[in-house]
Chains A and B, each alone.
Chain A
Amino acid sequence: MESTSTPERILRGIALTLVILFFMFPIFWIFMMSFQTNETILQIPPSLSFTPTLSNYMALITGKLTTAAGTLDIAFMGNLGNSVFLSTASVAVSLLLGVPAAYAFARHKFRGSEDIAFTLLSFRFAPPLLVLLPLTQYFQWLGLSDTYIGLIWVYQLICLPLILWIVRGYFEDISADVEYAYRIAGHSWFATFRKIALPLAGPGIAAAGLLAFIFAWNNFVFALVLASASKQPVTVGALAFVTSSGIQYGQIAAAIVLSIAPTLALALYAQRYLVEGLSLGAVKG
């Protein structure tokens, strides 16, 4: 890059500062709010000088909120557990189903393979409620309404296309010659898949799994429509929590912090793969 003039450098600096402020401030502010009592939250003008308290987190973890008006039960830790379980199980099922399929699509150009792959991809772009609303009735007939199994099944709509398309790209990048060589030596396709293809595509599979986990965790509408209070993940639970105890702002902030921390941590860990994952492999990072 050519050297830039001083006024331009200053302008760029100001612009970048404003950008960082805009995108970071809400996270910072909610984080601060989660360590404040309602008294300090409600004071005007807002101030950053307060004695931090862990009482909001304690209330969430113990599930009991003692106020002047009495005690209030908070089911938030249950929501957090649901999120962990639903996201983990969904990704596990997705990997089990999606990785072999991705391998088939990458290695074998069989009849209808592109059509099938695109049908799966099109789920990523269809309005979720179109499927979810009729599904509520089917789930009642099948006895799946408000079960973890039903939710994990529907979560495949989020995880499976993601895993299929990212992992397929990784399999396509592996030279097929290595596999042929191994097969000529008399090994079965399964041994080839397990000993050669899987380890080589390993990092891609891990990245796809992490991204699918983030997307499953962040999903809102699936559980909003299909899950009752006891099965709800944090995204729906936090909203219900706001409605039920609308004035406990400190606890709401703490609940938000606990809900967003896992995905933020995972994203930082998997940042190398984010670009590819977010564009389903269309853009290499």
Chain B
Amino acid sequence: MASVTTARKAPSGFRISKKALPYVLSLPALLVCIGILIPFFTAVINSFQRYRLSQPWARQFNWGENYLNFFTDPSFWNTLRVSLTYAGLTVVLELLLGLGIALLLQKRSAFNNFVSIMLLMPLMIAPALAALMWKLMTNPGFGILSYFASLVGLDNFRWASSPDTALLTVVLVDIWVYTPFIMILLLAGLRSLPTQPFEAAALDGVPRTFVFFRITLPMLTPYILTATLFRLLDSIQQFDIIYAMTQGGPGDTLTVFQVEAYLNFFQSTNVGRSAALLIILWAITYLLSNIFIKNWLRLRERARGEA
């Protein structure tokens, strides 16, 4: 960055030294966010305390006790298990489905573009409202999906109100909302692939399964990775869909990290345990997002270079 600014007399108006300028410009945004960092440190401190809202006088440091208790706490292991199952199921199913749909729509045509825009609609609906929509459709009394279930012989299929099928139901809603996200990313990836390898393969008469697994998939990997990590980070923290659908129930069937922490804070008023749960979740997402940001930066550079 050459110092071309000194070429003439100093410009009138705003006189901020060149060095300070970027800091001045980004300071307001930073200040707003620093206000948010303070609660983060409070959460760390809370997680090392015995702290119940119902007994504020008994608040004291118990150091790692909240964390140590988790080892022998079956409900913590339930939270971990449900969160990982939910994240694993949604991401894998959405990835397969999203890739399938992207391949169906790969060819650029007016119809395919129209369909891909239509399919984006669930993604633009608030997840909490999407859960309410599915709640109406799975109502045991009049829900259209309960009716469909009874048509295929599943009488009295209770969807989210039965512990056996609650996870399945929220995973279904998650798939409905977020598959379009993976689809649109992979579609953009597929359409940006260079055409030469595919033309060469077609000329040589290479079988299409071979083309898919040896050319398409490897070249699409950065996009798949981005989409997967994006979804994994969101999915392991899922709150809206589960809370709006069942509030973590029935029983503790769906008490994923954030739902359990929310219930701990507001229902059992156990601030310490709630904070410790969220710190563990944060540690998981921090690890994931570090991997994510590295890959994502590489992809972003590439997108910038090709644009």
Contact = CB atoms under 8 A, between A and B. Distances in A.
Interface of A: 1-2, 12, 15-16, 19-20, 22-24, 26-27, 29-30, 33, 41-46, 96-98, 100-101, 103-105, 107-108, 110, 113, 116, 118-123, 125-135, 137-138, 153-154, 156-157, 160, 164, 169, 172-173, 180, 183-184, 186-191, 214, 217-221, 224-225, 234-236, 238-239, 242, 249, 252-253, 256, 259-260, 263-264, 266-268, 271, 274-275, 278-285
Given A125-B285, A264-B125, A278-B185, A134 B39 contact: yes
A150 B176 CA distance: 33
Contact of A101 (B25, B36, B123): B25
Contacts of A24: 118, 121
Given A249-B136, A267-B120, A282-B299, A127 B282 contact: yes
Given A130-B278, A160-B32, A187-B11, A20 B119 contact: yes
Interface residues of B, number: 105
A63 B82 CA distance: 40
Contact of B21 (A12, A108, A217): A108
Given A22-B176, A184-B8, A235 B126 contact: yes
Nearest to B151: A45
B124 A267 contact: yes
Interface string B208-229: 0000000000000001001000
A43 B144 CA distance: 10
A130 B129 contact: no
Contacts of B137: 26, 29-30
B50 interface: no
B193 interface: no
Nearest to A2: B202
Interface of B: 1, 4-5, 7-9, 11-14, 16, 19, 21-23, 25-26, 28-30, 32-33, 35-36, 38-40, 42-43, 46, 100-101, 104-105, 107, 115, 117-130, 132-137, 139, 141-142, 144, 147, 176, 179-181, 184-185, 188-189, 192, 202, 223, 226, 230, 233, 237, 239-240, 243-244, 257-258, 261-262, 265, 271, 274-275, 278-279, 281-282, 285-286, 288-289, 292-293, 296, 299-300, 303-304, 306-307
A19 B304 contact: no
A256 B237 CA distance: 24
Contact of B307 (A127, A173, A236, A278): A173
Contact of A30 (B133, B188, B286): B133
B66 to A, nearest CB: 14
B102 to A, nearest CB: 11
A187 B35 CA distance: 36
B25 A100 contact: yes
